[in-house]
Structure 1
């Protein structure tokens, strides 16, 4: 399971936005790599987008029967989709799980100048090194095997997590790197008939024509006053997870008739667990 006992992840959005703008307005990346942007490849006609303003449940901490009136479910890639609903397959695409770090070639883990692996300290996850086209291709080849599994199981969409890993990279990765990488994942997913979600990173929402991303999975956009930016970029095709009552109230008061919103506990636990919350 890619996210067991999942607390809330937030980043320094203001800093990230500055980095994103600096990276994305330039026509070249590191080592003179041309980034250009350009339109993403056209989507196959069989890619289905999630319904707007539909009942939603976020089950990446463990699958269980969806509550009544739920039409959209997100689950970890290890789980099966929920029959008859719109299903989103969660994949940790930009970082290595603690128990899977040794499965990655050493040169695909991001390292600082001293050769030390750069970590996401909140999760004890190593950042993947998406800094060059060659490394992005190699990492994408591995992640896309998981995407293939999602498609084979019957999922409708994929949610590549940690799109914002560049904000935790100590300046070693850029927003341009993240977008170039997710574009590879989007193209492969679309070829398999899957829609692709932008996970967080609100500062990059306006670049969907470049990345090929189709809708958004936004954690705490109500709490952080970000729901409007996602709604505008993705034409209200946004699923929202709030982890506090106040965040839920803000999301519902501003976008309750437009977006798909759920309140979950920070551990994303299952019914029967002491801390389980779903509203």
Structure 2
């Protein structure tokens, strides 16, 4: 009889446990419902990346905004020299030299950099200059109205693809020649009588294109004038170059650069008689208050004279 009982008991236990309503007993501790859920099962998980600390390596990655070169550019208050015509004078003690991209040799650029100064290569990003070697690369329909008192120079349609292609090639040339940074000029066509109806948004897109292209080439880039778009562009540019902000009472608009410890290179065209005058003293006072480095230079930027604030 005992042998029969020994056979029946295990069978009965097995039948009872298999009936509906009976859960399997586990020796594991109860970790709660939330611990059993994966991020994909979470009802409020709208985005996979928000729910996981790591990204699936097979997920497509969003394109990143190009970053400027690893090393920072010059801080606010740094000195500079700017000369765009004539044989470049490299005898000044300055933190940076601004000079024409086409007219200065790679050897001279190397010499400037050997002193510890930054080499900033200038080119016009908004005008056609008939004497440039790449002038033939602009589409005829992209060439607009003459530029004021500058013979042989015309405004460009900066929305035209041929213009963007030329500027991309110029930035590449700057990289190839060893420039540290570029200074694209005439980037305010939307405020000019250019012959084209360029909107604020179109100009902004073009100026961001210049910044992105420079950073893609590991070059720094400066915002030349164009204070009307500074609020939208200062975070995309590494320094600023300004002409005549004191004359137009606009220097305070450059403070976002200084506040971010980015160099601001400023020039006023006062003439030789302005040096040492009350006008010159006022210029230096304003420059010091803003935190920018100011020079008095000739309008032709030919190194005929140079006066800096004490």
TM-score in terms of structure 2 length: 0.65
SS of the equivalent of 1:256 reads helix
SS of the equivalent of 1:99 reads coil
- Segments of structure 1 that go 5 or more residues without pairing to the other structure are 1-39, 111-117
Distance 1:76 1:219 in 2: 17
1:17 aligned residue: none
2:266 aligned residue: 240
Question: Given that residues 150 and 158 in structure 1 are in contact (C-alpha distance below 8 angstroms), is that contact kept between their aligned partners in structure 2?
Answer: yes
Q: Structure 1 pair 59/96, CA: closer, same or farther in 2 (3 Å)?
A: same
The Cα shift of 1:253 comes to: 0.1
1:157-201 Cα deviation digits (max 9, x unpaired): 111100122222256222222211121111111011111111111
SS of the equivalent of 2:188 reads helix
Counterpart selection for 1:127 from 134, 151, 155: 155
Question: Given that residues 88 and 158 in structure 1 are in contact (C-alpha distance below 8 angstroms), is that contact kept between their aligned partners in structure 2?
Answer: yes
Distance 1:247 1:142 in 2: 41
Counterpart selection for 1:46 from 48, 53, 70: 70
Query: 1:85-100, aligned counterparts within 5 Å?
Result: 85-100=117-132
Question: Given that residues 57 and 66 in structure 1 are in contact (C-alpha distance below 8 angstroms), is that contact kept between their aligned partners in structure 2?
Answer: no
- Given the alignment of the two structures, is residue 140 of structure 1 paired with residue 156 of structure 2, yes or no? no
2:297 aligned residue: 264
Question: Given that residues 268 and 297 in structure 2 are in contact (C-alpha distance below 8 angstroms), is that contact kept between their aligned partners in structure 1?
Answer: yes
1:115 aligned residue: none
The Cα shift of 1:87 comes to: 1.8
- Segments of structure 2 that go 5 or more residues without pairing to the other structure are 1-63
2:4 aligned residue: none
Q: Structure 1 pair 268/127, CA: closer, same or farther in 2 (3 Å)?
A: same
Counterpart selection for 1:66 from 79, 91, 109: 91
1:198 aligned residue: 223
1:251 aligned residue: 283
Question: Given that residues 267 and 296 in structure 2 are in contact (C-alpha distance below 8 angstroms), is that contact kept between their aligned partners in structure 1?
Answer: yes
Q: Which is higher, the Rg of structure 1 or of structure 2? A: 2
Distance 1:104 1:276 in 2: 35
Distance 2:256 2:215 in 1: 22
SS of the equivalent of 2:96 reads strand
Distance 1:277 1:261 in 2: 10
Distance 2:220 2:279 in 1: 27
If asked which structure has higher relative contact order (CA below 8 Å, sep 6+), I would say: 1
SS of the equivalent of 1:73 reads strand
Distance 1:209 1:266 in 2: 26
1:17-48 Cα deviation digits (max 9, x unpaired): xxxxxxxxxxxxxxxxxxxxxxx924145253
1:24 aligned residue: none
Query: 1:1-279, aligned counterparts within 5 Å?
Result: 41-46=65-70, 48-62=72-86, 63-68=88-93, 70-78=94-102, 79=104, 80-81=108-109, 82-83=112-113, 84-100=116-132, 102-110=136-144, 118-124=145-151, 125-131=153-159, 135=160, 137-168=161-192, 169=194, 172-208=197-233, 212-233=236-257, 235=259, 236-244=262-270, 245=274, 248-256=280-288, 258-270=291-303, 275-279=304-308
Distance 1:105 1:95 in 2: 13
1:206-255 Cα deviation digits (max 9, x unpaired): 11167x22221001112222221112245352111111136643331023
Question: Given that residues 126 and 186 in structure 2 are in contact (C-alpha distance below 8 angstroms), is that contact kept between their aligned partners in structure 1?
Answer: yes
Q: Report the number of matched residues.
A: 223
TM-score in terms of structure 1 length: 0.72
SS of the equivalent of 2:95 reads strand
